[in-house]
Amino acid sequence: MTASATKTEHGSDLEAFRAEVRTWLKDNFPPALEGIMPMMEGGADGSHAADLATWRDRLAERGWGAPHWPKAYGGAGLDHAHVRALAQEMGRVGAINPIPLLAGMGVTMVGPTILEYGTDDQKQRHLPGIASGKVRWCLGLSEPNAGSDLASLSTLAEDRGDHFVVNGQKIWTSGADISQWCGALVRTDKTVAKHKGISFLMLPMDQPGVRTRPIKLISGASPFCETFFDDARAEKDDLLGELNDGWNVIKRLLQHERASQTSAGSPGGKKKAGALQDVAKRYVGVDSAGRLDDPDLRSRLTRHLMDAAAHKLTAERIAAEAKGNPQVGAAASIMKNSATGITQARSELLLEIMGQQGFGWEGDAFDADELATVRDWLWGKAISIYGGSAEVQKNIISKNILGLPETTQKG
């Protein structure tokens, strides 16, 4: 078969798949959920809870919650081209896949790492629950005295024969108070260099040895928690990867995290206020030619929209060049920082455009979009910190892409 014939056949297959998706969406997507997704904390507007549960179950039944995962673990086994086509068709009708948010860190971070490092038993036990959005995961990484210097962690896991006993404290554990499982980085050998004595354990949150305490943020809501392990139990068969090789496991997991944070958009979870230029015209007004009636704002808004378009096109080019087999690497740090800048710039512009209406916190003088604007703006400040701060990403870029010498502390 010639290359041209292969391309034509593949194109026909994609078009047939798109038609199948369109029909399925027409029959299965609840119209009330158009443009709506659960909040990052995992909740949803009470008026949409029933529709959200139905939509989640229907997606999970098709394996479309994590469509690129193998069918054996709850996915659909789709290649990159079909995953992209599915996303495009869902986007066309305002259908958003809620499962990655409902699963916490499961679909984007823990699951892909289990697929690479997990045993067959671990994959069978953990992945289907993640792919369905019914089992939520958090991550126990940072500690009060070990943030960006993660290798300095002190949470200790002691070998008790058939299980580990875990003691210590984690911080910024997103969604820990509503998660069923935690993937925790723990110290299992105190006698070797700090990077070499670390392991990655998976442990259930619903046990007497685990306590969580939410951390309230300035935005008024937060997924963050402090998590305390007091003789918590982790089974030996829930050690992910080799004993004392957790540093390599977590480096891979964090690559998946950066890759999941490369899209630029509002961190909020309700329907968006609309295209930024349309919002600007509504609040600022237009001149006799129908242009935004503020030349300086018009110029800055245009630059922002160009940056956002360039980011999106770059992401699509990277995916296309991967030829369906994308490899998560240091380049994700570039896209993560780019997405951060674009998202935060949008929030700043939106706040400026709305003027005093963008600073409303409560009351009948502000509509829902206006009340969400200031919260999104405040929440968005965290984007340049979580998932590895912008400075950490720049270190990765300088060392692994530009080949500059190591300047950070080694341990």
| 3-class DSSP state of 242 | coil
Q: Is the pLDDT of residue 358 over 70?
A: yes
- The helix-helix angle for 246-260 and 331-354 (nearest 10°) equals 40
| 3-class DSSP state of 46 | helix
How buried is 130 (Cβ within 10 angstroms: 0-12 exposed, 13-18 middle, 19+ buried)? buried
Q: Is the pLDDT of residue 158 over 70?
A: yes
Q: Is the pLDDT of residue 321 over 70?
A: no
Q: Is 348 a catalytic residue?
A: no
Q: Is the pLDDT of residue 247 over 90?
A: yes
Q: What is the largest CA-CA distance in the chain?
A: 79
Q: What is the pLDDT of residue 327?
A: 57
Tokens of 340: 């951060």
Q: What is the pLDDT of residue 373?
A: 87
Of 176-190, 246-260, 299-313, 326-340, which gets the smallest average pLDDT? 326-340
Q: What is the pLDDT of residue 120?
A: 97
Q: Give the closest residue to 176 by CA, choosing from 114, 132, 226.
A: 226
- Output the average pLDDT for the chain: 85
Domains belonging to the chain, first-starting first, are 3-102 (1.10.540), 137-244 (2.40.110.10), 261-400 (1.20.140.10)
Mean pLDDT of 274-281: 86
Q: How many CA atoms lie within 13 Å of 15's alpha carbon, on the beta-carbon side?
A: 6
Q: What is the pLDDT of residue 314?
A: 82
C-alpha 399/C-alpha 393 separation (Å) is: 10
On whether the pTM is more than 0.85, the answer is no
In which residue are the tokens 């670390």 written? Answer: 198
- The backbone torsions φ and ψ at residue 65, rounded to the nearest 5 degrees and listed phi first, read -70, -40
Mean pLDDT of 259-287: 69
pLDDT digits (tens, 9 = 90+) for 164-216: 999 999 998 999 999 999 999 999 999 999 899 999 999 999 999 999 999 88
**Percent of the chain predicted with pLDDT > 70:** 86
Q: Is the pLDDT of residue 410 over 90?
A: no
Three state DSSP letters for 202-250: EEECCCCCEEEEECCCCCCCCCCEEEEEEEEEEEHHHEECCCCCHHHHH
Buried (b) or exposed (e) across 353-392, using 16+ Cβ within 10 A?
A: bbeebbebeeeeebeebbbbbbbbbbbbebbbeebbeeeb
C-alpha 47/C-alpha 39 separation (Å) is: 14
Q: Among 143, 226, 257, 370, which one carries the catalytic annotation?
A: 257
